[in-house]
């Protein structure tokens, strides 16, 4: 059986659906005026299929990309109100809605993975059998796309399978429901029920379908990684962005409370001599000296810690042949910070979490403000890699801001705004690339991966309070093994210099995350790692 015979419903054409004014799109979409155009792109082509409602109302546009070198297709669908009045309610929008005939006796397995939850088993592989009558629903927690579950999955049947990936950096969902005759596949946002105002346009999550042949599901995962490297992961001047070997003193900051120019300039040449190619400053450089998390929303360099700004540090890094990475958390705004005082209109609030406000990236004025602020710091500080963190769940804020006839709109605009923020920063700074953190690996999806790499896929040591030793090593290795089944390039933290620890953490790239004085750390509990004591004795 060929892939086209095995998965005809999702290989021949894009499959999506929605309800409009209470009616299913299956009832009317084929009757609407349809136009098609084809755009040739490197490695394939994009077909643009437009469906126009009679009378100039709703316009539905699917952008379908097919590749020459992989059995893959991806698409994203847009809805635009081209009429003079608000549309009827759009709801149940499924970017993927397909049914594949499968005999009841055939075995079907779903291979997927946990996402990041700041646990020792982050990204642990999962396999579930889907028998007739089976129903599997996958969705993240709280509005960050890989919070608890990874939006990549591999559906295996006899002789081959299909990888499904969702590109949406918000609250997506994917469902696999099987009856005696077919497997039903659907994916999209978890909840949308809204009217579009005249001139408004929204988009759906992106869907990627990749077919593979064979009896081992790893053939599908291997093909996915090759596909991501060939066509999705970010490039600069045509060259694939690679995770760095970096040094960061944030562990020292947590242990000592100290951060300043002298400490950074003392450590930098030493790690450059060890072979580090990137110098990293995390959440200690901004505000006025309160706890780091209390200062998010005041994006100015702390004058007591860095009276000359950050440029002396980036200059030293560049002179040593290193790049410079700088941390931000622009979407979270704490009380009594500059943005809250000066622009409260930019903020979304939630009664359950009054200390944290969400910067509304769906508001053009708010997005322009933060884009300019970040861009200025990138220029003034000589930043090569922009690191964006995101340490709380946005979904309650989006839901609280939605009107009853606009459910899902705040999330859509925020996610679209995130992509516009990142794309604009890359336009203004052509050599810049992006590190996507989000509490350590909680916003990894097809869209973020096309713009960024995750250099810190889990915060589990910080949250769990694990001592240095085997627990941290097991967690790191679980993360690496689990995430690398799906994502080819990412980073992580090395917590001491022993060969076992370092080799267990080397993936695409890694960061020395330990507090520098070796005597502060006990030796590993593995006798083979006794060279830690030798290092401490020198």
pLDDT band at 520 (very low <50, low <70, confident <90, very high): very low
Residue 466: per-residue pLDDT: 53
Question: pTM of the entire structure?
Answer: 0.94
pLDDT at site 528: 43
Cite the beta strand spans of 289-427 per DSSP E.
323-328, 332-334, 347-348, 356-359, 385-388, 406-407
Residue 21 phi, psi (nearest 5): 60, 30
Looking only at the bridges linking them, the beta strands covering 385-388 and 433-436 are parallel
For residue 461, the model assigns a pLDDT of 65
Residue 538 has pLDDT above 50, yes or no: no
281 touches 527 (CB < 8 A): no
Task: Give me the pLDDT at residue 509, please.
Answer: 86
Percent pLDDT > 90 in the chain is 80
Residue 483 has pLDDT above 70, yes or no: yes
Higher-confidence residue of 447 and 11: namely 447
Pairing of strands 182-189, 172-178: antiparallel
Mean pLDDT in residue range 39-60:
94
Helix intervals (H) in 343-386: 364-381
Residue 89: DSSP 8-state: P
Distance CA 340, CA 163 (A): 43
When pLDDT is cut at 50, 70 and 90, the band that residue 471 belongs to is confident
> What integer pLDDT is reported at residue 501 of this predicted model?
77
Residues 6+ away with beta carbon under 8 Å from 225: 486, 487, 488
Query: Element (H or E) spanning 478, and its range?
Result: helix 470-483
pLDDT at 526: 45
pLDDT of residue 498: 76
- 376 or 472: which leads in pLDDT: 376
| Phi, psi for 336 (deg, rounded to 5) | 60, 25
Mean pLDDT lowest for which of 54-58, 150-154, 177-181, 303-307? 54-58
pLDDT in tens, 115-156: 999 998 999 999 999 999 999 999 999 999 999 999 999 999
pLDDT for res 507: 78
What span, in angstroms and rounded, lies between the C-alpha atoms of 43 and 66?
9
CB 286 within 8 A of CB 301: yes
Q: What is the mean pLDDT of the chain?
A: 91
Cβ neighbours around 186 below 10 Å, total? 20
Q: What would the pLDDT profile of 329-355 be if each residue is shown by its tens digit?
A: 999 999 999 999 999 999 999 999 999
Tracing tokens 């606009």 back to the chain, one arrives at: 406
Please enumerate, as own/partner, the contacts of 263-271 that have beta carbons within 8 Å and a separation of 24 or more: 264/313, 265/312, 265/313, 265/316, 267/516, 268/313, 268/316, 268/317, 268/320, 268/322, 269/316, 269/320, 271/247, 271/512
pLDDT at 11: 53
Phi, psi of 482 (to 5 degrees): -70, -50
Q: Is pLDDT of 200 > 90?
A: yes
Tokens of 225: 């990684």
User: And the tokens for 435?
Assistant: 């590190």
Nearest residue to 285 (alpha-carbon basis) of 333, 248, 238: 248
Q: How far apart are CA 113 and CA 150, in angstroms?
A: 6
pLDDT digits over 256-266, tens only? 889 999 999 99
425's enclosing H/E stretch is helix 409-428
Mean pLDDT of 187-194: 98
Mean pLDDT confidence for 435-455: 97
Has residue 517 got a pLDDT over 70?
Answer: no
Could you tell me the strand order of the sheet in which 356-359 lies?
332-334, 356-359, 347-348
Contact yes or no for 53/38 (Cβ under 8 A): no
Alpha helix positions (H), 203-333: 218-231, 250-256, 261-274, 311-319
User: What was the pLDDT predicted at 467?
Assistant: 53
What does the DSSP assignment read for 138-156?
E--STT-TTBSB-SEEEEE
Cβ 72 vs Cβ 204: under 8 Å: no
Mean of pLDDT values over 517-537: 42
Mean pLDDT value of segment 80-96: 97
Sequence-distant (≥ 6) Cβ neighbours of residue 242 within 8 angstroms: 489, 508, 509
Q: What is the mean pLDDT of residues 416-429?
A: 98
First to last CA, the chain: 64
Q: Is 496 helix (H, G, I), strand (E, B) or coil?
A: coil
Range with the poorest average pLDDT among 62-66, 72-76, 269-273, 305-309 = 269-273
């Amino acid at each position: 059986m060929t892939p086209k015979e095995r998965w005809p419903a999702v290989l021949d054409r894009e499959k999506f659906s929605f309800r409009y004014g209470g009616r299913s799109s299956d009832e009317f979409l084929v009757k609407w005026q349809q136009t098609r155009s084809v755009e040739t792109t490197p490695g394939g082509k994009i077909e643009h299929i437009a469906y126009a409602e009679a009378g100039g109302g709703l316009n539905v546009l699917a952008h379908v990309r097919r590749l020459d070198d992989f059995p893959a297709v991806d698409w994203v669908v847009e809805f635009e109100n081209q009429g003079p009045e608000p549309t009827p309610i759009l709801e149940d929008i499924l970017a993927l809605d397909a049914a594949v005939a499968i005999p009841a006796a055939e075995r079907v397995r779903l291979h997927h993975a946990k996402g990041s939850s700041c646990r020792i088993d982050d990204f642990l592989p999962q396999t579930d059998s889907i028998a007739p009558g089976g129903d599997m629903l996958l969705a993240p927690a709280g509005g960050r796309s890989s919070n608890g579950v990874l939006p990549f999955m591999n559906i295996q049947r006899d002789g081959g399978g299909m990888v499904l990936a969702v590109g949406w950096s918000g609250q997506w969902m994917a469902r696999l429901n099987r009856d005696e005759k077919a497997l039903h596949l659907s994916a999209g946002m978890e909840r949308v029920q809204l009217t579009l105002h005249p001139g408004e346009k929204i988009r759906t999550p992106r869907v990627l379908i990749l077919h593979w042949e064979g009896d081992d599901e790893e053939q599908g995962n291997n093909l996915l990684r090759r596909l991501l490297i060939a066509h999705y992961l970010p490039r600069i001047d045509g060259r694939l962005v690679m995770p760095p070997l970096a040094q960061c003193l944030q562990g020292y900051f947590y242990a000592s409370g100290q951060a300043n120019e002298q400490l950074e300039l003392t450590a930098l040449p030493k790690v450059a001599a060890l072979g580090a190619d990137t110098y990293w400053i995390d959440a200690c450089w901004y505000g006025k000296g309160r706890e780091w998390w209390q200062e998010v929303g005041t994006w100015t360099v702390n004058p007591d810690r860095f009276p000359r700004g950050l440029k002396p540090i980036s200059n030293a890094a560049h002179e040593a042949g290193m790049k410079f990475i700088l941390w931000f958390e622009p979407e979270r705004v704490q009380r009594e910070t500059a943005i809250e005082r000066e622009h409260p209109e930019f903020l979304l609030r939630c009664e359950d979490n009054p200390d944290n406000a969400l910067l509304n990236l769906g508001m053009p004025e708010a997005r322009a403000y933060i884009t300019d602020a970040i861009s200025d710091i990138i220029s003034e500080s000589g930043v090569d890699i922009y690191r964006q963190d995101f340490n709380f769940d946005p979904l309650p804020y989006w839901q609280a801001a939605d009107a009853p006839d606009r459910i899902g709109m705040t999330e859509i605009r925020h996610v679209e705004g995130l992509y516009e923020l990142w794309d604009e920063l890359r336009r203004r700074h052509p050599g810049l690339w992006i590190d996507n953190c989000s509490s350590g690996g909680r916003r990894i999806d097809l869209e973020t991966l096309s713009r960024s790499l995750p250099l810190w896929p889990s915060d589990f040591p910080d949250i769990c309070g694990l001592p240095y030793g085997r627990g941290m090593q097991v967690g790191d290795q679980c993360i690496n093994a689990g995430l690398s089944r799906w994502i080819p390039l990412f980073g992580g933290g090395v917590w001491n210099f022993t060969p076992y620890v370092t080799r267990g953490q080397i993936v695409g790239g890694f960061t020395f995350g330990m507090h520098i004085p070796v005597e502060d750390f006990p030796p590993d509990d593995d006798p083979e790692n006794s060279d830690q004591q030798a290092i401490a004795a020198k």
